[in-house]
Amino acid sequence: MNRRVVIYVFLIVVLLSFSIVGTSCDFIKGATPNTPSTKLEGGLPPEFGILTEALNTLSETYVDKGKLDLQKLSQGAVKGMLEAVGDPYTGYVNPESHKEEMASFAGKFEGIGAVLGVSEGQLVIVSPFSDSPAEKAGIKAGDKIMKVDDQPASKMTPVEASQKIRGKAGTSVKLLVQHQGDTELIEIEIVRAEIPLESVLLEMRGDIAYIRITQFLQTTGADLQKNLRDAIGKGAKGVVLDLRNNPGGILDGAVDVTSQFLLRGIVVEVVDGEGMHGQLRVKSGGVATNVPLILLVNGGSASASEIVAGALQDSGRAKLAGSKTYGKGSVQRIINLSDGSGLHITTAHWFTPNGRPIDGVGITPDFPLELEGDKLVDWAIDYLKSQVTAELVPASV
């Protein structure tokens, strides 16, 4: 998949209810209540005079003046303004969808269970959620979305597409897709369902803990700590942390996860629009700072996943195995508007602790491997066991 494909938010898991989320997130948790803190002094600039001019003209000359809905018109104006920015991560969310996306951070949503991206104006699937309606219906990572319910998707923004694809459990949506590397177009009908957002999964493979993180939610750090304590209590001698097809999520979640494996240091460096640099550092209290660790990544590992991978790689704490990550290095803030709608605005770019840019580049693993599924997990387990064995062999002097 083109490395410059962008995930529109985190989940939008979220927006997608279908996910995204995008998105990236690397959403900054804690939306602000009305407008951004930086306000225009003296009202709108002269360039915005045409908005009033257009509204006055419409209200005076439109044939069905009584049918004009000022709220819808104002929302349409904001939507168009955000689209004109030209940033796939910056967009407007109507009140209904905004309410759903904020609720989805709490642990579940209704939709098809996939992560949406856009590449060169073309909507694509970054990855379907495991065991989701999308995956069961045959949706694959890298699929191009050509139509949504018979409507061409070529000019849809991620927000528009997500609002069409998401929906109530039990209802269906039709996607016309093109699998990566194929020329044939396939129509797939997907029945929406309630998608639980269980982000941390643990499975003991002998004395190795296999932990998969599917996305970064508010609870991910605490859930990981609980699972790590459980694994260590069962005698785990190593951890395989699987971040494959993890599209990201809340920035705080990435910091919390990284902090379980490091005693100290920088997790990520954030640079805002004014060029100001800030650092998010490791939190104290990690429970697996000395346990042998290896991370699994691929092209669906994005955003917050890349923050974790970059921090642990730069610190020398863990090796990465798999394929190059997605390459999303920007941070979005969710801002609540007074009518219940919301804005997703890119507010900063992030870099690894060593200053490596990730946006459009991704992170190259220490062990580039074409193995997939459990074959890569088995390789990682064998690698960890070899490292544990090597540590037990006395060094020659």
| Residues recognised as catalytic | 303, 314, 328
Give dist(CA 250, CA 345) in Å, integer. 14
Amino acid at 177: V
User: Which amino acid is located at 11 in the chain?
Assistant: L
d(CA 77, CA 274): 27
The secondary structure of residue 170, as a DSSP letter, is: T
Structure tokens belonging to residue 264: 């100290």
- Amino acid sitting at position 280: L
Contact 269, 355 (CB under 8 A): yes
Torsional sign, CA 350, 356, 357, 358: negative
End-to-end alpha-carbon separation of the chain, Å? Answer: 50
The torsion angle over the Cα atoms of residues 254, 258, 264 and 268, rounded to 10 degrees, is -40
* Residue from 311, 201, 308, 297 nearest 249 by CA: 308
SS3 content of the chain, % helix, strand, coil (to 5): 30, 30, 40
Q: How crowded is residue 274: how many other Cβ atoms within 10 Å of its Cβ?
A: 6
176 Cβ contact partners less than 8 Å away, ≥ 6 residues apart: 145, 146, 147, 148, 150, 185, 186, 187, 188
Q: Which residue has the tokens 């929906």?
A: 167
d(CA 288, CA 284): 12
SS3 252: helix
**Torsional sign, CA 145, 175, 12, 309:** negative
Tokens 């066991």 belong to 385
